Structure 1
Amino acid sequence: MRVALVLNGAAGALLGRPPEAVAARLQQILADAGHEPRAAVAEGPALCRALDAAVASEAEAILVGGGDGTIIAAAERLLPENRAGPGRPLGILPMGTANLLARDLGIPLSPEAALPALLAGATRRIDVALVNDRIFLNSSLPGIAPRMVHQRERMRHDPGPMKWLRLVRFFFRGFDHGPRLHVVLQADGRPVRLITRTLAITNNPLAEGFAALHSRVALDGGTLGVYAARIDRRLDLWRLIARIVAGTWQHDPAAAALAARRVNVVSRRARLWVANDGENHLLATPLRYRILAKALTVMVPRADPDKPDTPE
């Protein structure tokens, strides 16, 4: 099988590691498995050109290594409405900080372990969510989240665990002093007025249970999850955090949750900053959210290696 391999040389997992050496190792894994790899390592504008070249090539599968933002860039190019040629599956090699989609798909979080698992796996189709003209695969976050993303990027090369403590401190300061969102949610036509500092729209609703804050019930349910925190006091925030740890946060009175196929976020502001899977965008209001059902084909490991998967 002809395989295009594209790695983001600036991915978080590659900090301190030579990207070319990682690419060579992955190429060797592909060659040993009998595949024909063509690899590229790039970052910035060159990464977009490398993704374009991979999609335009005769590769039968596109393997992409990077964080959630890199995976979005690849997914955009592989959507049926954007591609000119035949559909190819996207293989995700986790190299970011959170790797949320990879976790939901059961992909090992080391690229060297993920690659053999994907090659021996199957394909499945998952939903893609859209806000205005921007796609996201995990979540879209107006409110305090874009500030957190900006601060995280400023601290990207800071050494040691202290940067995470500083980021937590920044988060609490934002909740105490950050601006509030005054919005009207139109969820499948039902208006809901909200005043909140944080809002989350997820590609399919989130699961409940211990440590399941970023896990989703399904990836192909065709429904958006909508979540907001109504927090006026620091005590409310601490209680909500405790329930997040316990896995009961969706039942907290400070948390508002609903599900819908289409959601509009109406604001008095002409534009709002939104963090889509860790990438900031300044978008015109109203923010219009919808689902593209089963629009993206991805490679996944087999749930049971002894039991063959049924092809789609």
Structure 2
Amino acid sequence: MKGFPPPDHPGALIQERTGEICLVINGKSGSQNSDGLSDPDVLCATLEERTGRKVVRVSPEEDGMVEATRAAATGGYAMVIAAGGDGTIAAVASAIVKAEREGFPRPTLGVLPMGTFNFFARSLGISEDLEQAVDGLVTGTPAPVGLGQINDTVFINNASLGLYPRILREREDIYANWGRSRIAAYWSVLRTLLRPGRTLRTRIRAGGRTSSIRTQLIFVACNAFQLREYHLSGDDHVNAGRLALLHSKHEKSLALIWATLRLAIGRSRPGRSFGLIADSEITIDLRRRTKILVAHDGEKTMMAGPFRLQYLTDAIEVVVPEVPKEGR
């Protein structure tokens, strides 16, 4: 199986000892797949048949996300497969990064997208069709991938402050009542915008400069593909190993609503609606020192500032069908 580390790879010794795969599958993800591979038992059996290796399954619903992903990252597996949405993939990737810092050998990450948007998988050319994604795990090769980090939290696509975390909170309520879909996600944007929140008063340090910025939204990306999908600036910076921080230029309700709706449907006007700051390390200070809600890859966490962000070059290795030609 090409997706496993080659003999000269640091993880090869672990492969020789166990040769096992760990599957972290989130049954709550918003998968659009209707085939049998969405069933955890069927998926496990298929992976064992296709790879010829034992598959050990851990379930975040039963064990808790932190416990499940740490067990996967530190268990001596040759590969850890994350089956779920971007939040599940981010949790597994974060656990791998943290385990390596503690001295554990780094397993290769496999991705089976079962979420609503699947930005991470799509950025690497991984099919949203589960059958094709499994084929990619069997025939693909490991490629280094950069990630982002805000304080102690690793993210695979983006982290944000201000308006977007509130959108995610609204989205959860809508999902609970109407189910997961992209239409429901867009509706959560509009409902949140009808109740604008407090303006963030920030000092942002990057590249030796400090900028005082008032904004309703800060969006920090480490995924160039997602920026291109949203028609936002900064993908060239991400491809060069820097974070792209975008901040809304609008504070008034109507202009903010229009700019954010254009962002949600991928029709943003970068220069007119959003300012751009890019660097491999960025610090955000808020005038108010209380904890605020921070969004990261579709999840939410209360965090206290200052917010220290950094780009983690080649933080993990992911099995990909082919190395993206234009960068993820």
Q: TM-score, normalised by structure 2?
A: 0.79
Aligned-partner residue type, residue 210 of structure 2: P
Q: 1:63 aligns with which of 72, 75, 81?
A: 81
Q: Aligned partners of 1:27, 1:102: CA distance in 2, in Å?
A: 20
CA drift at 1:224? 0.6
- Whether the 8 Å contact between 2:167 and 2:189 is mirrored in structure 1 is no
- Whether the 8 Å contact between 1:68 and 1:101 is mirrored in structure 2 is yes
Aligned-partner residue type, residue 311 of structure 2: I
Q: Deviations over 1:59-87 (max 9, x none)?
A: 21111111222112211221264354322
Question: What residue in structure 1 maps to residue 129 of structure 2?
Answer: 110
- Whether the 8 Å contact between 1:274 and 1:280 is mirrored in structure 2 is yes
Question: What residue in structure 1 maps to residue 67 of structure 2?
Answer: 49
Question: What residue in structure 2 maps to residue 238 of structure 1?
Answer: 258
Question: What residue in structure 2 maps to residue 24 of structure 1?
Answer: 41
Q: Aligned partners of 2:85, 2:229: CA distance in 1, in Å?
A: 25
- Whether the 8 Å contact between 2:127 and 2:133 is mirrored in structure 1 is yes
Q: 1:285 to 1:85 in 2, by over 3 A?
A: closer
- Whether the 8 Å contact between 1:211 and 1:245 is mirrored in structure 2 is yes
CA drift at 1:143? 0.4
Question: What residue in structure 1 maps to residue 55 of structure 2?
Answer: 38
- Whether the 8 Å contact between 1:126 and 1:220 is mirrored in structure 2 is no
**Bigger shift: 29-38 or 186-195?**
29-38
- Whether the 8 Å contact between 2:111 and 2:319 is mirrored in structure 1 is yes
Secondary structure at 1:64 match in 2: strand
Q: Do residues 72 (structure 1) and 93 (structure 2) align?
A: no
CA drift at 1:211? 5.1
Q: Aligned partners of 2:120, 2:276: CA distance in 1, in Å?
A: 21
Q: 1:171 to 1:236 in 2, by over 3 A?
A: closer
Q: Deviations over 1:121-164 (max 9, x none)?
A: 11111112111111111111000111111111122232367744
Q: TM-score, normalised by structure 1?
A: 0.83
Q: Do residues 11 (structure 1) and 32 (structure 2) align?
A: no
Aligned-partner residue type, residue 85 of structure 2: G
In the TM superposition, 1:281-292 aligns within 5 A as 281-292=301-312
**Bigger shift: 87-96 or 30-39?**
30-39
- Unpaired runs of 5+ residues, structure 1, are none
Secondary structure at 1:155 match in 2: helix
Q: 1:178 to 1:85 in 2, by over 3 A?
A: closer
Q: Deviations over 1:196-230 (max 9, x none)?
A: 11111111557776754599458663201010111
Question: What residue in structure 2 maps to residue 294 of structure 1?
Answer: 314
Q: 2:151 aligns with which of 120, 132, 147?
A: 132
Q: Aligned partners of 1:169, 1:294: CA distance in 2, in Å?
A: 37
CA drift at 1:166? 4.0
Aligned-partner residue type, residue 309 of structure 2: Y
**Bigger shift: 74-83 or 147-156?**
74-83
Q: Deviations over 1:72-123 (max 9, x none)?
A: 2211221264354322110111122222111111111133321111221111
Question: What residue in structure 1 maps to residue 270 of structure 2?
Answer: 250
Aligned-partner residue type, residue 173 of structure 2: R
Q: 1:302 to 1:295 in 2, by over 3 A?
A: same
- Whether the 8 Å contact between 2:147 and 2:155 is mirrored in structure 1 is yes
Q: Aligned partners of 1:171, 1:136: CA distance in 2, in Å?
A: 24
The number of residues matched between the two structures is 301
Q: Aligned partners of 1:118, 1:89: CA distance in 2, in Å?
A: 11
Aligned-partner residue type, residue 55 of structure 1: A
Q: Deviations over 1:261-291 (max 9, x none)?
A: 1111111111222101111111111111112
Q: 1:120 aligns with which of 139, 142, 153?
A: 139
| Higher relative helix content | 2
Question: What residue in structure 1 maps to residue 166 of structure 2?
Answer: 147
